[in-house]
Amino acid sequence: VQRQSLAMGSVISFQVIAETKEDGYEAIRKATGVFRSLEQIFSMYDDQSEMAALGRASGRQFVQVSDEAIELLRYAKKVNQQSDAHFDLTIEPAMRRWGFRQNPGETVTPPTDRELRELERIIGSSKIEIGSDNKVLLAERGMAVDTGGIAGGYALDKAIKAMKASNVSAAFINFSGDIHCFGAPISGHSWPVHILNPITQQPLTETIQLNNEALSTSGAYQNRRHNSGDRSWGHLLLPDAARPVEPMASVTAIHSSAMTADAWSTAAYVGATPPRDVRLKTLAG
């Protein structure tokens, strides 16, 4: 069975193999519920989300959050260390200043050097303090977290786990280009995935075969902002400089965990070297 749902601001496409349609649709219902429950925790656009609460309390007090938030924040801090700070959730203030929380059609004035220095001062995952009883503090006033480079993968992992516990034999989930799967399709032993060529906007002829794996692609070719002239920039920022970078067209990361693939596709795009168990496919600009 196949179905599309909407959650976490994106379309989720499901392909499920089961003995009956009812079993397949029930597994999809459970997986969709996972995405929607996590949206209430990680959304950057919902003032009631746990991440929004962390930002409001930054520099002032600890905020009690869910087990899921603690799990994601701990892993994000780990990737920050492993990537030599190329992956950093606290990039959110810079994302805002570069216009990525505004309408894509709006004109953006780039930050001044003074503003960039202030952004650099408050960016840093070491400033995320995780205390006892699931309490978290963003140590500097003005800090905020952007979970966009990891929460989708985390949700995919949880959704796949829920589907594996259902009465289905295989599933393939495409969440806005991030993919996770298990089992085998009706035809063949693995799931074929075509990566988009950012230059031609057409799928590459070569496919990536996934077998109980996840895939995530990062590139600056879709979500862009512009100034009043002819300059534009993508949404992938180098944390220690608080500014956009475009070293290549795209990076695709493959791993058994979608959260790992999601985080490392972002980190690798801006210059980090991933661990050996993360496979990469890069496209030059």
- In this prediction, residues 115-130 reach a mean pLDDT of 98
Could you tell me which of 191, 237, 226, 230 has the C-alpha nearest to residue 89? 237
Query: What per-residue confidence (pLDDT) applies to 133?
Result: 95
Identify the pLDDT of residue 84.
97
User: Can you tell me the mean pLDDT for 128-141?
Assistant: 97
Q: Quick check: 284 pLDDT over 90? A: no
Q: Of 24-28, 101-105, 196-200, 240-244, give the lowest mean pLDDT range.
A: 196-200
Position 140 scores a pLDDT of: 98
Structure confidence by residue, pLDDT tens digits, 214-240: 999 999 988 899 999 999 999 999 999
∠225-151-177 over CA atoms, to 5°? 65
Q: What is the mean pLDDT of residues 109-113?
A: 97
Report whether pLDDT(49) > 90.
yes
User: And the tokens for 74?
Assistant: 């701990």
Mean of pLDDT values over 113-136:
97
